Amino acid sequence: MRTTRRALAAVVSAAALLVASGCGAGEDDATASTVEVFTWWAEGGEKAGLDALVSRFTAACPGQEFQSGVIAGGAGVNAKQVLNARLQQNDPPDTFQAHAGAELLDHINAAQVSDLTARYEAWGLTAALPAGLIETLTVNGKLWSVPAGVHRANVVWANDQVLADAGILVAPKNLKEFVANLEKLRRNGIESPLALGRDWTQLMLLEAVLISDLGSKRFNGLFNGETKWDGKPVRTAIDDFATIVGYSNPDRDSLDWPQAEQLLIDGKAGYQMMGDWVAADLDQKNFSGYDSFTFPGNGKTFQWLADSFVLTTGAANPAGAECWLRTVASPEGQQAFNARKGSIPARTDAPTVGFTDYQIEAVEDWKSGTPVPSCAHGSACSQPWQNAANAALGAFSTSGDAAALQAALAAAARQFVRQP
């Protein structure tokens, strides 16, 4: 696959050179160079966001053609495996989607991604991105990816009708009220009132419960060694998490987030805890009977994650990939992408034209809330740490063994934590 694509790119580049130098055979050089952009945005709101970015890229980068390297699967569960295999075989796409933060570490250490520090100045990113985000993106004093947008993870999505039928009219303010509502829904005939999916979606739920029980400061400490994973407060959170999981669909381990979301749309569940890509997806699916609120007990905590793009060191078409990155970095690119993706621009100066009321609120919350990173989406954890956490959650979903879950999470932290 790589050989074919690279060979094609080489032929195309050679042809372009010939034409540029006047040595061509007089044929027109209609063949564009392709830029392979590797993502996991295959359908629904995710694809709508990507498509909007592609339109901008096509307009801004004449002679370059978008080539989709997409591998479906929420949070990149499948894409990351394929990507790693390709990188190991020295078959990189020109650019790939990655989360800002710790998740990029392995790629940086393996010299698979290029230093983009100089582009930050050139593209106005140094001035336009929030300082905290630049700090998170900086590794070894350099910048390695261009953020496209910021998502909020700690949100609960609700089916208005299902809740109204059970007489639930206000959002729960804390875990106790949330559990009471879940119980009420069950008594009202909704057997599995919380729509839940596989391992990483369960990790998201656990993280949200940890934020409620520990507060943002101690939650942050879980990822820099300041908060103990094997202490009593984490055990309390795991017990609360177990109670909440008890209200979820028993087939959770076989569902990705859009399938869990379908339970919400179909009125089989009242709530789904998931990042705010859900809004864009529900809109794509023409479902408007929903509402959302910050996870109960999370207060003003904004659990963030950022999608970003890198330039691979082995890119077959680095100039094309750079034009893709410049599009991602531009205010217009960020507006187009985020308006459809449900996230908010990473740039503080990007226009918010076409944003939903939810997104406008999210822009405000991002400015005024307390930011905490996400392990499930790479801003807090390295990839091996995230894998270990997902495996621990998957095992717990079957066994229900809270002590084993805590021990596994504590062991992962001991192995992978980086001191501040």
Contacting residues toward ligand GAL, per CB under 6 A: 40-41, 46, 74-76, 99, 151, 257, 275, 277, 305, 307, 377
At closest approach, how far in Å is the CB of 258 from ligand GAL?
8
Nearer to ligand GAL, 175 or 329 (CB): 329
Nearer to ligand GAL, 50 or 244 (CB): 50
Nearer to ligand GAL, 274 or 316 (CB): 274
Nearer to ligand GAL, 92 or 101 (CB): 101
Nearer to ligand GAL, 305 or 388 (CB): 305
At closest approach, how far in Å is the CB of 1 from ligand GAL?
24
At closest approach, how far in Å is the CB of 388 from ligand GAL?
17
Degrees, nearest 5: CA angle 385-197-346: 60
At closest approach, how far in Å is the CB of 281 from ligand GAL?
9
Q: Which residues have CB under 8 Å from 14's CB, separation 6+?
A: none
At closest approach, how far in Å is the CB of 45 from ligand GAL?
9
Q: How far, CA to CA in Å, does 183 sit from each of 106, 132, 205, 247, 266?
A: 43, 40, 18, 8, 19
Nearer to ligand GAL, 307 or 365 (CB): 307
At closest approach, how far in Å is the CB of 275 from ligand GAL?
6
Nearer to ligand GAL, 209 or 274 (CB): 274
Instruction: Identify residue 191 by its one-letter amino acid code.
Output: E
The single residue listed with the structure tokens 């379908």 is 262
Q: Which residues have CB under 8 Å from 253's CB, separation 6+?
A: 198, 199, 394, 397, 398
Cα pseudo-dihedral 384, 389, 394, 400, rounded to 10? 150
Task: Compute the distance between CA of residue 48 and CA of residue 50 in angstroms, rounded to an integer.
Answer: 5
At closest approach, how far in Å is the CB of 295 from ligand GAL?
16
At closest approach, how far in Å is the CB of 368 from ligand GAL?
22
Strand partners, 149: 307, 345
Nearer to ligand GAL, 75 or 195 (CB): 75
Nearer to ligand GAL, 240 or 281 (CB): 281
- Write out the two tokens for 396: 């717990």
At closest approach, how far in Å is the CB of 30 from ligand GAL?
34
